Structure 1
Amino acid sequence: MSTYLSFDIGGTKVASGFVTLPQPLNGEQEPVVTNRCEIPTEASRGGDDLKARIVALAAQQLERASAEGIAIAGIGIAAAGVPDSETGVIVSATDILPGWRGQHIYDAFAEITDLPVRMIGDVGAHGLGEASYGAGRNSDVVLSIGVGTGIGGAIVMHGELFTGAHGVAGHAGHVPSALGQGFLCSCGTREGHIEPVASGTGLKDLYNHRCEELSAADKPAPVSSGAEVASRAAAGEQLACSVLADSAHALGECIGGMGNLIDPDVIVISGSVVKAGALWWDALRAGFTDSALALVKPTPLVEGELGGDAPLIGAAAAIDRYVRANHMEPSKA
């Protein structure tokens, strides 16, 4: 077994941990995550500051590993934005992380360690983790969809993350949906993407929009989160039930289209919104069935198994593949 130092860099926090992977890949044993810690992203302080604090955290984690006699074989990074895995540069990032675009991550880590480093996108890492060791293990083609604050995706083929010609393959939230028409997407369009009406934030916005269309006598108080929509639906509120069902059905239709294009063995759905309950899942599967081709309809839609550890495990899987592909015999844990 090999142990890697992993990072999950998000808009709210940066998580880190030691991930010990079983060998061979996709064996019966499960990965183990230890020495978890995190720091706030504090995005407003800028990309330079964030990079410096991540490297400082890495130095602390490597010191901890040395003190505990843990041999670290490499460093895996799941990064927000669109990273270039070959150069270690963040080639694109949204305004959620100002100054993150253009950061040279590999160069920064080289100042503190000679260990090999591999960086992939955070949503891609989540998908790679689930495909390798979670709900998609032992499947050749896995489509992973994350439905949380936003919506992202990853395509894993025969154990390898498919990133596309420009590193943006898997942006599942930015596919067309009539339900999203007029709602502002995080990518800047109002032309009808699924993310602004089916993510956690989208559920809130869709609910509050429909609230405004009701008469004063029938109008409930607005919600502050998608979780509140799910809670009201569970209590039987008609508006919340219709919003949850319409949103999930539209997302299911989009996933059906993705299934038609990719033809995966399994579709893994993860993120906070998957906890919305049976109404959400039933509508999601109904939308998928309505949209999927006959040969794609039987494709199972399953809930992810790794939870918050998925990006850390996926980042470790990425560096493990890199180490082995380049004949760098990993240290044994």
Structure 2
Amino acid sequence: MRHVIALDVGGTGMKAALIGTDGELLHQARRPTGRERGPEAVVAGIVDFAAELRAWGAGRLGEPAAAAGVAVPGIVDEGRGVAVYSANLGWRDVPLRALLTERLDAPVAVGHDVRTGGLAEGRVGAGRGADRFLFVALGTGIAGAIGLDGRVEAGAHGFAGEIGHVVVRPSGLPCPCGQRGCLERYASATAVGEAWAAACGDPDADAADCAGAVEAGDVRARRVWREAVDALADGLVTALTLLDPRTLIVGGGLAEAGETLFAPLREAVRRRVTFQKVPSLVPAALGDTAGCLGAGLLARDLLAAGPPDCGPSSPAAPSAAAPAAPTDPSEVTA
């Protein structure tokens, strides 16, 4: 059966699937990313995992995958297929597409994790049918994806959609990016968790605890939540003024609060707009499967468009370990 490999690489775990060219889900697997073993081991693990998926497909489905898509965190040069930088995984300038193409003997697409998740939300999730959408993920940080006519814009240098580093509070809290007052320092799940831990005196409290306290009527939690919602609304109105999306999709861990987040956020956005058209503001629909589904869409797009130039175009990658004997990936858990 003709199919593609879809692989979503996270800071702690990897999610993978074999997907039919008609979109049918044929197989799923997970395994740890293994970042504690260092960047070389992470790269080797990605390549070996993909090779195991290829072997599984060849054995169980009658032929190896026709293409592969992989989503990775950090800064990604999607045109060259290079993972430029990831603080979480400790790598720089990894020619991931070239490494995987050589191992899989098939065309490979490499994408940014949030943009790839946004691609899936736009095509088959909450933004399905929208010609222009903005996907914003509220997690450890905040990042976004700009959707135009069924594709996601990477930008000239691979930074398109980095709404988390829009300054919403000038001279505010310092951000690791070097600026002060960035949106993700106020409205990410991490920021909300830190603010609530300080307010309630429990160092282990997180954003989910804050949302629960808001629902219970805690005055301190409501103040923390309101400050985060206000900052988020400021950032979103800046984005919709520039991009004029038809649909605004919000996902990530903070969005799991449901209407505790969305009801005040819609109202805060509505209060801020003047001449702008308020887009439909909806929760993401695909959850933590979005990155993997998006990677599959990247691979299927390759089959439609033809393979990219996979020649060497970057500094050498960390060396990969020797190929592991193929195993059944379904037996490996994250």
Please classify the TM superposition score into its range, dividing by the shorter chain length. 0.7 to 0.9
Q: Distance in 1 between matches of 2:161 and 2:42?
A: 26
Deviations 1:106-161 (A, max 9, x none): 22213322111001100000000011111111111111011122211000111121
Deviation at 1:34, TM superposition (A): 4.0
CA RMSD of aligned residues (A): 2.1
Is this contact kept in 2: 1:196–1:205, CA < 8 A?
A: no
Aligned to 1:193, the other structure's residue is in SS state: coil
Range 4-13 or range 70-79, more displaced: 70-79
1:257 is displaced (CA, Å) by 1.2
Q: Render the CA deviation track for 1:204-223: whole Å, top value 9, x for unaligned.
A: 122234x2xxxxxxx64344
Matched residue of 2:119: which SS?
helix
Q: Secondary structure at the match of 2:275?
A: coil
Q: Which amino acid aligns with 2:6?
A: S
> More displaced, 304-313 or 221-230?
221-230
- 2:238 corresponds in structure 1 to 257
Match of 1:28 in 2: none
Q: Which residue is equivalent to 2:264?
A: 283
Residue number in structure 2 paired with 1:153? 144
Mind listing any 5+ residue stretches in structure 2 that lack a counterpart? 309-334
| Correspondence 1:228 to 2:228 | no
Deviations 1:149-207 (A, max 9, x none): 221100011112111111000012111112x8543434243x10110221111101222
TM-aligned CA deviation for residue 53 of structure 1: 0.6
Cα contact 1:245–1:279 (8 A) shared by 2: no
Structure 1 partner of 2:88: 96
**Number of the residue aligned with 1:27:** none
Q: Which has the higher contact order (CA 8 A, sep 6+)?
A: 2
Conserved 8 A contact 1:250-1:284 = no
For the residues of structure 2 that align with 1:228 and 1:83, how far apart are their CA atoms?
A: 33
Deviations 1:4-58 (A, max 9, x none): 1111111121111112353xxxxxxxx4434222222232322221110111111
CA 269–252 in structure 1, closer or farther in 2 if over 3 Å, else same: same
Give, in whole Å, the separation in 1 of the partners of 2:20 and 2:173. Answer: 43
Distance 1:295 1:183 in 2: 29
Equivalent in the alignment of 1:246: 227
Residues 197, 205 of structure 1: 8 Å contact kept: no
Matches for 1:173-322 after TM superposition, within 5 Å: 173-178=164-169, 182-189=172-179, 191-209=180-198, 211=199, 220-297=201-278, 299-322=279-302
Contact 2:77/2:157, CA 8 A, preserved across alignment? no
Distance 2:304 2:207 in 1: 42
Residue 198 of structure 1 aligns to which amino acid in structure 2?
A
- Partners of 2:109 and 2:151 in 1: CA distance: 14
Counterpart in the other structure of 1:3: 3
SS in structure 1 of the partner of residue 103 of structure 2: coil
Q: In terms of mean alpha carbon deviation, does 158-167 or 245-254 score higher?
A: 245-254
CA 2–110 in structure 1, closer or farther in 2 if over 3 Å, else same:
closer
Structure 2: how far apart are the matches of 1:266 and 1:242? Answer: 28
CA distance in 2 between partners of 1:137 and 1:88 (Å): 27
Question: Are residues 1:108 and 2:103 paired?
Answer: no
**Secondary structure, counterpart of 1:39 in structure 2:** strand
What TM-score do the two structures reach when normalised by structure 2?
A: 0.85
Question: Structure 2 CA distance, aligned partners of 1:312 and 1:53?
Answer: 17
Q: Which amino acid in the other structure matches residue 37 of structure 2?
A: R
Summarize the Cα distance change of 1:208–1:36 in structure 2 as closer, same or farther, 3 Å threshold: same
SS at match of 1:269: strand
Which amino acid in 2 is paired with 1:323?
L
Structure 1 stretch 35-44 or stretch 4-13: which is displaced more?
35-44
Partner of 2:57: 65
Aligned equivalents of 2:104, 2:129: Cα separation in 1: 34
Q: 4+ residue runs of structure 1 moved beyond 6 angstroms?
A: none
2:237 and 2:18 map into 1 onto residues whose CA distance is: 36
Counterpart of 1:49 in structure 2 is 41
For residues 80-95 of structure 1, the aligned pairs below 5 Å read: 80-93=73-86, 95=87
CA distance in structure 2 between the aligned counterparts of 1:19 and 1:285, rounded to whole angstroms:
36
Q: Which amino acid aligns with 2:254?
A: V
Counterpart position of 1:331: none
Alpha-carbon distance in structure 1 between the residues aligned to 2:21 and 2:128: 14
Q: CA deviation at 1:273?
A: 0.7
Tell me the distance in 2 between the aligned counterparts of 1:79 and 1:257. Answer: 27
Would you say 1:78 and 2:71 are equivalent positions? yes
Amino acid at match of 1:117: V
- Tell me the secondary structure at the aligned position of residue 129 of structure 1: helix
Checking the alignment, whether the CA contact within 8 Å between 1:204 and 1:224 is kept in structure 2 is: yes
The answer to whether the 8 Å contact 1:257/1:292 transfers is no
- Give the CA deviation at 1:266: 0.5
| Percent of aligned pairs sharing the same letter | 30
**Structure 1: 5+ residue runs without aligned partners?**
23-30, 212-218, 329-333
